[in-house]
């Protein structure tokens, strides 16, 4: 194995190890916020508890993909910054490993990361968003006590059963002081009970009332009757799953391309910013990481974060401008990436003019 291949593997190991740590740290920050939002919606009764984990995973996946370019940018910066701090980069330059070979090594892993993130942003993330909407629709069609609100009338199932409850237990699985009104075989009934709970039997869902009374028929007629019970169940008829119109974030990239509208092009270009930003930021981190040993590993971190903030702000501005139709889709958000390319070329040009290592022939 040649010396250069050994050095390349060393550089890749440094970058990927740092990438794993930075990505994990940023992911924990994003995941904590996503989990709190999903959990608050479950507590409010928006979703049943049995879909929490899947819904959390689906919503988290889309958020994580868009922070990975930043994680990779910081990883390259920190990994190469450590090499400069420990004078390892000086040794590499002295051995004839010039900046061109550093760019080639970093460029290889950067391209691989960019292609992976591109596949996730263009295909996987839209699928997760569509699946999340479908999961919410299916949960909304199910009869769940978790979704009921105390102090007002609620409808359960598709059978027209109206339920009023004074309160609900702490685990949101049992209703307290319940009143319900429904119809069986064109015969109206009213129930009052001390408590009620939803149960499943043989694949069917039932609302089971405890310690109450059932009033059947019309008051004042011969067939009107009152039945006292200790336990009484009513089968809940499930509602049909109604598919709502999907927002563009949940549409496939192919559907956006075929749609061709301004909104479609805006969303498609926004997804393409993920692999493009990973590619440009990964390459930009190489010259930004150049520092003297006295600056330390985090010497350029503040500059890098400021640069990323400006880049992100310009991308959001370009997206808003494109969505309003103020610029042509051909210009779209591409001009922001063009600025980063220009900045990268300027930094490389300036560093090449400074005293530093020259390319040398290295065996192997």
pLDDT over 60 at 232, yes or no: yes
Which pLDDT value is given to residue 139?
66
Query: How many helices (H) and strands (E) are present in the chain, helices listed first?
Result: 10, 6
Average pLDDT across the chain, whole number: 81
Least confident of 94-103, 171-180, 210-219: 94-103
The average pLDDT across 117-143 equals: 82
The average pLDDT across 195-212 equals: 82
Instruction: Sketch the domain layout of the chain as residue ranges.
Output: 3-140+251-353, 147-235
Which pLDDT value is given to residue 185?
64
Whole-angstrom Cα distance, residue 290 to residue 87? 11
Which pLDDT value is given to residue 74?
92
User: Which pair of tokens denotes residue 316?
Assistant: 């959001």
Express each pLDDT in 34-56 by its tens digit: 888 877 766 655 566 667 788 88
In this structure, is the dihedral angle defined by the CA atoms of residues 127, 129, 130 and 135, taken in order, positive or negative? positive
Q: Residue 16's closest CA among 112, 147, 138?
A: 112
The average pLDDT across 2-12 equals: 75
pLDDT over 50 at 338, yes or no: yes
Which pLDDT value is given to residue 142?
56
Say what percent of the chain tops pLDDT 90: 24
User: Which pair of tokens denotes residue 156?
Assistant: 């359960």
Quote the radius of gyration of the chain (alpha carbons, Å).
30
Is pTM beyond 0.75? Reply is no
Whole-angstrom Cα distance, residue 162 to residue 139? 19
Which pLDDT value is given to residue 364?
41
Express each pLDDT in 273-293 by its tens digit: 999 999 999 999 988 888 766
Whole-angstrom Cα distance, residue 347 to residue 338? 14
User: Which pair of tokens denotes residue 215?
Assistant: 């009033």
Q: How confident is the model at residue 313 (pLDDT cuts 50, 70, 90)?
A: very high
Whole-angstrom Cα distance, residue 191 to residue 168? 17
Q: How confident is the model at residue 361 (pLDDT cuts 50, 70, 90)?
A: very low
Q: Residue 155's closest CA among 140, 134, 133?
A: 140
The average pLDDT across 4-9 equals: 76
């Amino acid at each position: 194995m040649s010396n250069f291949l050994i050095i390349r593997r060393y550089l890749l190991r440094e970058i990927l190890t740092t990438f794993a740590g930075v990505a994990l740290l940023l992911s924990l920050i994003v995941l904590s916020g996503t989990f709190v939002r999903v959990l608050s919606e479950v507590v409010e009764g928006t979703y049943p508890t049995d879909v929490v984990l899947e819904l959390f995973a689906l919503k988290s996946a889309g958020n994580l993909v868009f922070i990975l370019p930043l994680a990779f940018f910081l990883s390259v910066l920190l990994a190469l910054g450590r090499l400069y701090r420990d004078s390892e980069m000086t040794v590499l330059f002295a051995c004839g490993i010039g900046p061109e070979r550093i760019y080639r090594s970093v460029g290889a892993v950067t391209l691989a990361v960019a292609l992976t993130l591109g596949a996730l942003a263009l295909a996987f993330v839209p699928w997760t968003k569509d699946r999340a909407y479908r999961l919410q629709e299916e949960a909304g069609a199910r009869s769940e006590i978790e979704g009921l609100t105390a102090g007002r009338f609620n409808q359960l199932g598709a059978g027209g059963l109206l339920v009023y409850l004074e309160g609900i237990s702490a685990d949101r699985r049992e209703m307290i002081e319940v009143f319900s009104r429904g119809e069986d075989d064109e015969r109206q009934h009213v129930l009052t009970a001390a408590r009620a709970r939803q149960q499943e039997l043989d694949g069917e869902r039932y609302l089971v009332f405890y310690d109450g009374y059932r009033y059947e028929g019309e008051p004042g007629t011969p067939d009107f009757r009152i039945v006292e019970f200790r336990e009484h169940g009513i089968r809940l008829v499930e509602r049909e799953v109604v598919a709502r119109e999907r927002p563009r974030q949940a549409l496939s990239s192919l559907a956006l391309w075929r749609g061709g509208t301004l909104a479609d092009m805006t969303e498609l270009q926004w997804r393409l910013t993920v692999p493009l930003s990973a590619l440009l930021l990964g390459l930009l981190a190489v010259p930004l990481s150049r520092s003297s040993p006295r600056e330390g590993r985090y010497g350029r971190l503040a500059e890098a974060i400021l640069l990323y903030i400006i880049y992100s702000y310009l991308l959001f501005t370009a997206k808003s401008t494109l969505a309003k139709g103020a610029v042509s889709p051909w210009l779209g958000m591409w001009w922001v990436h063009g600025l980063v390319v220009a900045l990268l070329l300027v930094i490389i040009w300036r560093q090449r003019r400074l005293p530093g290592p020259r390319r040398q022939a290295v065996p192997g």
